[in-house]
Amino acid sequence: MRIDVFTIFPDLVDGFCWFSLLGKARLTGLVDLRVHDLRSLATDPHRSVDDSPYGGGAGMVLRPEPVFEAVEAAEPVRPLLLLGPGGVRLNQGVAQHLADGPGFSLLCGRYEGVDARVAEHLCDGELSIGDYVLGGGEVAACVVVEAVTRLLPGVMGNAASAGDESFGATGLLEHPHYTRPATYRGHEVPAVLRSGDHASVARWRNAQALLRTAEQRPDLLGARGGLTDVDRRDLAEHGLLERVEKALAPEG
Ligand code: JF5
């Protein structure tokens, strides 16, 4: 998959994206990530990329020329998405949609904003990572690149992991995980996980995932269509059905 990122801080994005499984995927050629410096084509002595806003006001605006020229020189893979709080909200579905395609590109805004002609006449859409304001789109770009590339076949170490986890096939938060030691500072690993009974472990994990989701993110259980008969059975087996139904009641 090819991904192009346009930014005035290319080292920030490129550096982040050399770590861990994403860095490995770049080394093996699975991910062709190209980070472009918006200043690279600026010819003026100060290589400026910003200017004061028409109409007045505080702060600076990213100028159209360096952005249009950098994008046209790179011929990036489309869609080209502008990062900013006004865009379509990134979620697991949006990440999967981008992972299913041939690639995409990201433009990192900075300053008080980007000249509106960039969004209107150069970009294909806008993408947000959440309802808060960042100093620039670089960290948001890293979030998008990581969320998408880890879904690509062959990028994650364990092929089963991507589907098992939170927001995967189940639409639930994950069950809790444990590793050695069996007792740490007096806190024990649940006995069922050490029983060797895989069917019991699966029912316990489903009950735990349902409990966590009902208490922390009841909206996710609603979106999934509530509890199934199997869910009720697994919860009842562990004495958790009443607690989960209480958490899902209209008053919360
Ligand atoms: C940005 C001007 C873009 O702040 C963000 C952002 C928030 N959620 N998703 C992205 O982007 C950076 C800063 C200033 C435009």
- pLDDT tens digits, one per residue of 103-130: 999 999 987 899 999 999 999 999 999 9
- If you measure from the C-alpha of residue 5 to the centroid of ligand 1, how many angstroms do you get, rounded to a whole number? 14
Listed in sequence order, the residues at least 6 apart from 247 whose beta carbon sits closer than 8 Å to its beta carbon are 214, 215, 218
Predicted local distance difference test score (pLDDT) of residue 178: 98
- If you measure from the C-alpha of residue 131 to the centroid of ligand 1, how many angstroms do you get, rounded to a whole number? 9
Predicted local distance difference test score (pLDDT) of residue 161: 59
Phi, psi angles (nearest 5°) of residue 89: -75, 130
The answer to whether 191 touches 221, Cβ cutoff 8 Å, is no
* Helices of type H across 41-173: 64-74, 92-100, 116-121, 138-149, 161-164
- pLDDT tens digits, one per residue of 23-59: 999 999 999 999 999 999 877 888 899 999 999 999 9
Nearest-CA residue for atom 5 of ligand 1:
84
- If you measure from the C-alpha of residue 112 to the centroid of ligand 1, how many angstroms do you get, rounded to a whole number? 9
Predicted local distance difference test score (pLDDT) of residue 43: 77
Predicted local distance difference test score (pLDDT) of residue 39: 96
The residue type found at 48 is S
pLDDT-based confidence at residue 12 (cuts at 50, 70, 90): very high
pLDDT-based confidence at residue 166 (cuts at 50, 70, 90): confident
The continuous run of DSSP H or E covering 229 comes out as: helix 229-237
Q: At what angle do helices 229-237 and 241-248 cross, to 10 degrees?
A: 130
- If you measure from the C-alpha of residue 193 to the centroid of ligand 1, how many angstroms do you get, rounded to a whole number? 43
Residue 165 has pLDDT above 70, yes or no: no
DSSP state of 26: H
Mutate which of 61, 114, 129, 133 for ligand 1 pocket (most atoms within 8 A of beta carbon):
133
Predicted local distance difference test score (pLDDT) of residue 168: 72
The continuous run of DSSP H or E covering 183 comes out as: strand 183-184
- If you measure from the C-alpha of residue 250 to the centroid of ligand 1, how many angstroms do you get, rounded to a whole number? 35
Measured from the CA of 87, which atom of ligand 1 is nearest? 9
**Partners of 215 in beta bridges:** none
- pLDDT tens digits, one per residue of 133-154: 999 999 999 999 999 999 999 9
Nearest-CA residue for atom 11 of ligand 1:
84
Nearest-CA residue for atom 13 of ligand 1:
136
Predicted local distance difference test score (pLDDT) of residue 158: 55
- If you measure from the C-alpha of residue 83 to the centroid of ligand 1, how many angstroms do you get, rounded to a whole number? 6
| Ligand 1 first shell, C-beta below 6 A | 83-85, 109, 113-114, 128-130, 132-134, 136-137, 140
Q: What percent of the chain has pLDDT over 70?
A: 96
Predicted local distance difference test score (pLDDT) of residue 47: 87
Nearest-CA residue for atom 10 of ligand 1:
84
From 157, 154, 238, 236, select the one nearest 190 (Cα to Cα): 238
- If you measure from the C-alpha of residue 51 to the centroid of ligand 1, how many angstroms do you get, rounded to a whole number? 18
pTM of the shown model: 0.95
The residue type found at 38 is L
Listed in sequence order, the residues at least 6 apart from 39 whose beta carbon sits closer than 8 Å to its beta carbon are 8, 47, 49, 66
pLDDT-based confidence at residue 214 (cuts at 50, 70, 90): very high
Nearest-CA residue for atom 7 of ligand 1:
85
Residue 185 has pLDDT above 80, yes or no: yes
Predicted local distance difference test score (pLDDT) of residue 164: 54
- pLDDT tens digits, one per residue of 71-110: 999 999 999 999 999 999 999 999 999 999 999 999 999 8
Mutate which of 9, 63, 83 for ligand 1 pocket (most atoms within 8 A of beta carbon):
83
